[in-house]
Amino acid sequence: MTHEQFEVLSNQAVAACAAAYFLAFLAHLGQWAAGRRAEPVEVAREREAVTVGAGAPTAGRAAAAPVTDEPERMLLLGRVGVAVTVVAAAVHFVAVLTRGLAADPVRVPWGNMYEFTLTGTFFVVLGYLLLYKRFGLSWLSPVVTGFVLVILMVDVLALYEPVVPLQDSLQSPWLVIHVVAAVIATAAFTIGGMCSVLYLVKSRWEQRTDAAGRTRGGYLARLPELAVLDRIAYRTHAFGFPIWTFAALITGPIWAHYAWGRYWGWDPKEVWAFITWVVYAAYLHARATSGWKGSSAAVIALVGLATLWFNFVGINFFFGSGSQHSYAVPEPTAVVLRLDG
Amino acid sequence: MAATTTERPAGPPAEPPGPPSLSPVELARWSWRQLTSMRTALILLFLLALAAIPGSVVPQTAVDSVRASRWMDDHPRLTPVYEKLGLFSVYDSVWFSAIYILLVISLVGCIVPRLRVYWRGVRAEPPRAPRRLDRLPEHRTLETDAEPGAVLEAARAALRSRRYRVRVDAAEGTTPGAVRAERGKLREGGNLVFHLSILVVLVGFALGSLLGFKGGAIVVTGDGFANTLSQYDDFEAGSFFDVADLEPFDFTVDGFDVTFLQEGRQAGMAQKFRADVTYRTAPGAEDQQREVAVNHPLSIDDTDVFLIGHGYAPNITVRNTDGTVAYSGPVVFLPEDTTFRSFGVVKVPDAEQAGGRTTQLGLEGEFYPTYGFTDESGPFSAFPDSKNPALSMLAWTGDLGLDSGRSQSVYALDKDGLDPLLKSDGQPVRLDLALGRTAELPDGMGTVTFDGLSRFVKLQVSHTPGQSTALVGVVLALLGLLASLFVRPRRVWVRARREGGRTLVEVAGLDRSAGGDLSGELDALVGRLRPAGASDTPATTRSPEEPT
Ligand code: HEM
């Protein structure tokens, strides 16, 4: 196949996997709609577990209870949704792969924001699928499929760029390592952030339903209890953090050294990578500090996610060529020359 | 999770709400406890993140001085305020330094006591079993016909094979025998290594910025560069750097090659730029040849030479009317955009004026590697490669200001003492020159010839001591972090006593990590202790299946 054919194939694969994610998203919406009509979860049991969870390490022992009493219809739709997501992820992978094959010479598909987003969303789905069994993530399905669908749409509509060769400074084995690590960490933080959002939503909702004395049902009632959400969020963040450390603070500087002759230059992109790192370090600290556990920690995690995404999207748009990292404009390196002799 | 933190020596739990009215010593102690508390660390981390932001919004002098000075020109009113606040060099500013120095102090104050505790704890035996094992979050009981001693021995073996540190307490009087086991102290160790390594990295950084230097030089192909201060266009060195320490290497840039994509969507993008250099590590040393390219610096001893830019240097000759050469050589024109439209000046200190008097001549203008022209845009460069190179310059005479004693940029004309050369119609003289052409200056001032085209490379030379220290630091930090996040600190106790002709075995455990889950581990252990062909005494458990 020629490079052009690969490019066409990649674009078609993106469209196909987006359509599949849409179907999966619908199936999961159906799943939770079915859950709404079903019996509400056994509230008393859950509430007991939560109060225990507040202080003692028993937190989360009675966790998976809600998942087990799902009606037939929910289980079926859930299974369909996951199966379709698996297919979509496979097609998504083809889209990423052929994107790399479309370049001449063949290269890693991480030359610009479009490609980075395409790969990042793939890793989000991959992470979700890999953890699905282990963490019992069926409650996360509508969030992940909906999120990936929206981001892919934005990617295609707003960020699309035709395939072009890589700039010289991007041609380094360190780029491959650096970017793979950054993408994986981003995906992990994104999944962790979803759990943190659900944690905050659910804790708000519990307080409100408690106050109103209402019984609980629907999607939120079927989410794992707070302590479990918190723990899954922590696990994904704890997985992402060393990888981010590796990407941003080890391979990044090494690559910058070879490409630009300095390890760390406080370039806007580097500043924000550092900020993200510090905020997530604060998150890990917060989880171990009394008075900061739980909601405050979840908020810090989301601040971290915001800085991460801002670094990716915002820096390129708002700072443009002010950053050496902007892949938006292919600059000849000579433009960085100083005019003061 | 909660258990972890309350047991931690470092995070002093509830702080008193305010400084109690105490003696100075006690006040100092109180402040120290505040500073080294986990909450302070958390707040300082936040402050550090916040304080880093302005440096990404306001152009930094140290990062991009051109952009910074342009910004200052555009904002004359804000500039003095920003300067006072140190906003043009955030990362050296007092307030930024204050935050990270406080953080470092807090870090040291936090690690040292923890190190002491850890050192003592690392050799300590696993703690004794709590009296009521069934109070622990994870526990199981089972009955068996085996002797208690045999059960405990089996438990010991099983736990040892899972790399627990194990102690067996034999039964004494009414106290039944028990096994106590612990593993995963590496978690706390890893955490300490991580925090200590942050200090190592900072030391590495400090070494680099105090003892190192970074300099930039532009070298035209065919020319040489010797590593002495005078050869640098810009040079920044750490406070403790001694110029005498510049390593005595030199090199010649033999040639430079760049491929511009000729067609396709990215036509004009530069690829594969590389320079061929011949270098010597010291005067008199043997010549060696190397190719220097982006991502492939030349390393000479502890100094690295990076290729970070390139451009054109048209060869320009200025002749007097009698044909004598007033100036000749390649002139560096700095690229202004991706088409390599470039800007440069020629300074001729001894040019001839009508009547044989001498004057100073300055030429200033642009170079276009692929000249194009439209009435709307004027001259422009259609392509970055030199397909149709041309110069377009204005001429000035008078005083170039070379003797004023002020240092002057070689890339700009100081027009204070200069007047434009005018044609008879009052229009400024514009010299438009294609390659190989000569233009005549008015009033018998001679000629200007564009007689060749060279290229130049922009090199960055840097010497960063401490980089291996920093690298060792980050690698240690990463390893420590992995241990700190993923090692599971666990304690397991097994107690066995004879009861009604059978042996009643209690197994319980504690996972001290955030988000740990012991149930699988205990189930496996119970499986090992249960007699073969197990009686189906249901092991009582507290946890049904659960996401782990
Ligand atoms: C220089 C800034 C610092 C950074 C980047 C940093 C980073 C981190 C990180 C990433 C962790 C997570 C490891 C884990 O959860 O096991 C951690 C844990 C910890 N840090 Fe720091 N830290 C810093 C300063 C401090 C200071 C000043 C203190 C003293 C109060 C401190 C005390 C702790 C403690 C006690 C833990 C263990 C928390 C736990 O068990 O989860 N750190 N730190």
Name, in order, each residue with C-beta under 8 angstroms of B105's C-beta and a sequence gap of 6 or more. B35
Q: Which of these, B511, B438, B37, lies nearest to A291 by C-alpha position?
A: B37
Chain B residue with CA closest to A341: the answer is: B409
The model's pLDDT over A264-323, given as tens digits with 9 standing for 90+, comes to: 888 888 899 999 999 999 999 998 887 888 899 999 999 999 999 998 877 666 654 445
CB B342 within 8 A of CB B336: yes
B513 lines ligand 1 (CB under 6 A): no
For residue A316, the model assigns a pLDDT of: 64
In this prediction, what percent of chain A has a pLDDT beyond 70?
Answer: 77
Neighbours of B142 (CB within 10 A): 23
CB A264 within 8 A of CB A253: yes
d(CA A123, CA A141): 15
ipTM of the complex: 0.83
Cα–Cα separations (whole angstroms), residue B445 to A214, B357, B362, B421, B448: 97, 10, 12, 10, 10
CA distance A40 to chain B (A): 20
| The model's pTM | 0.82
Locate the ligand 1 atom nearest the alpha carbon of residue B37 and give its number.
30
The stretches of B252-301 forming alpha helices (DSSP H) are none
Q: Using CB atoms within 10 A of its CB, is residue A235 exposed (0-12), middle (13-18) or buried (19+)?
A: buried
Q: Which of these, B548, B531, B524, B545, lies nearest to B159 by C-alpha position?
A: B524
Q: Do A322 and B294 touch (CB under 8 A)?
A: no
With b for 16 or more beta-carbon neighbours within 10 A and e for fewer, the A239-251 pattern comes to bbbbbbbbbbbbb
Containing A237, the helix (H) or strand (E) segment is helix A226-244
For residue B541, the model assigns a pLDDT of: 47
Looking at the DSSP bridge assignments, the partners of residue B352 are B358
How far apart are the CA of B151 and the centre of ligand 1, in A?
41
Q: Do A57 and B510 touch (CB under 8 A)?
A: yes
Q: Which of these, A256, A258, A341, lies nearest to B215 by C-alpha position?
A: A341
B42 lines ligand 1 (CB under 6 A): no
Domain boundaries, chain A: 94-328
CB A300 within 8 A of CB A286: yes
Q: Do B547 and A64 touch (CB under 8 A)?
A: yes
Helix, coil or strand: residue B539: coil
Q: Using CB atoms within 10 A of its CB, is residue A193 exposed (0-12), middle (13-18) or buried (19+)?
A: buried
A285 lines ligand 1 (CB under 6 A): yes
- How many helices (H) does chain A have, and how many strands (E)? 12, 0
With b for 16 or more beta-carbon neighbours within 10 A and e for fewer, the B106-140 pattern comes to bbebbbeebbeebeeeeeeebeebeeebeebbbbb
Name, in order, each residue with C-beta under 8 angstroms of A19's C-beta and a sequence gap of 6 or more. none
Locate the ligand 1 atom nearest the alpha carbon of residue A281 and give its number.
10
d(CA B344, CA B270): 21
How far apart are the CA of B48 and the centre of ligand 1, in A?
15
For residue A293, the model assigns a pLDDT of: 83
Neighbours of A307 (CB within 10 A): 22
pLDDT string in tens for chain A (341-residue length): 777 888 889 989 999 999 999 999 999 998 888 776 655 554 434 443 433 333 333 333 334 444 445 678 888 898 999 999 999 999 999 999 998 888 766 677 777 788 889 999 999 999 999 999 888 898 999 999 999 999 999 989 988 877 776 666 666 788 788 888 999 999 999 999 999 999 999 999 888 887 776 666 678 888 888 988 998 999 999 999 999 999 999 998 888 888 777 888 888 888 999 999 999 999 999 988 878 888 999 999 999 999 999 988 776 666 544 455 544 333 333 222 222 22
d(CA B334, CA B341): 8
What is the block-wise mean pLDDT of chain B (548 residues), using blocks of 10 residues? 37 49 81 84 93 88 78 88 89 90 92 91 86 85 88 91 90 85 91 95 88 88 88 84 86 84 66 84 87 85 86 91 87 85 88 74 90 84 84 88 73 82 84 89 85 89 88 94 91 88 89 71 84 51 40
Best mutation target, B6, B37, B45, to test chain A (most A CBs within 10 A): B45
Q: Which two tokens stand for residue A188?
A: 């992990």
Q: Is it true that the peptide bond before A105 is cis, omega within 30 degrees of 0?
A: yes
Closest CB from B45, B460, B464 relative to A285? B45
Chain centre to alpha carbon of residue A172: 26
For residue B385, which residues of chain A lie inside 8 Å, CB to CB? Answer: none
